[in-house]
Amino acid sequence: MTQFSNVTVIKQANVYDGGKVTSRVIQFADGSRKTLGIMLPGEYSFSTAAAELMEILAGELEVQLPGSELWLAIKGGESFEVPANASFNLKVTTLVDYCCSYYD
Amino acid sequence: MTQFSNVTVIKQANVYDGGKVTSRVIQFADGSRKTLGIMLPGEYSFSTAAAELMEILAGELEVQLPGSELWLAIKGGESFEVPANASFNLKVTTLVDYCCSYYD
């Protein structure tokens, strides 16, 4: 799926880490939501409320999933899931274009 | 208008200047299009094909419009227009969140 049709886009961006991570919210007719975002190179820790599917559209990063010591290499075309109410760490090594789906 | 409803969003971002400028395309039912984007601090030169309305949602920049020597200060809540087939220069001094409308 290269585009999302019949959606609502929130105009204002979400800005994190001084602009190194930015995203916009997409709302679907069924009430579900995703964010489309950009991460610049850097190290980040994120916490989830809802469970998430992080789909990497382009770029490269390593992820340390909740409760794991392991760093997994992930690149464009790959994805990973994070459970609800958890935190995970990222080492982003190139610009990363991503789509995050939330499972409320 | 804080959101766009019943639109199509192209999933993959457009990336310029090594990621200092990124945007995504929003398509409307009437065939028109806008981009929602982020510019990090820096100096940029852009060329238009279609005429554009650049609406600054947040942040601060200066713009030198086509054929002008003058630099105009623009901040969140303000906007400027650029004619078709022209080039313009920007000095972006903070992270800028923008919405660009194209008049094809």
CATH architecture of the domain with residue range B8-103: Sandwich (2.60)
**Helix, strand or coil for residue B77?**
coil
pLDDT averaged over every residue in chain B? 97
Q: How far is A67 from chain B (nearest CA, A)?
A: 31
- Per domain, the residue ranges of chain B are 8-103
pLDDT band at B104 (very low <50, low <70, confident <90, very high): confident
Nearest to B57 among A8, A12, A97 (CB): A12
Q: CA of A61 to nearest chain B CA: how many angstroms apart? A: 16
CB-nearest partner of B3 from A11, A18, A19: A11
B8: nearest CB among A5, A24, A36: A5
Q: In this predicted complex, what is the ipTM?
A: 0.93
Segment A31-52 shows an average pLDDT of 97
Q: Which residue type sits at B29? A: A
User: Does A38 contact B19 at a Cβ distance shorter than 8 Å?
Assistant: yes
Average pLDDT over residues B4-15: 98
Task: Find the DSSP H helices in chain B.
Answer: none
DSSP B10-36: ESSPEEEGGGTEEEEEEE-TTS-EEEE
At residue A76, what is the residue type?
G
Q: Please list every residue in chain A whose beta carbon sits closer than 8 Å to the beta carbon of residue B57.
A: 11-13
Banded model confidence at residue B68, pLDDT cuts 50, 70, 90: very high
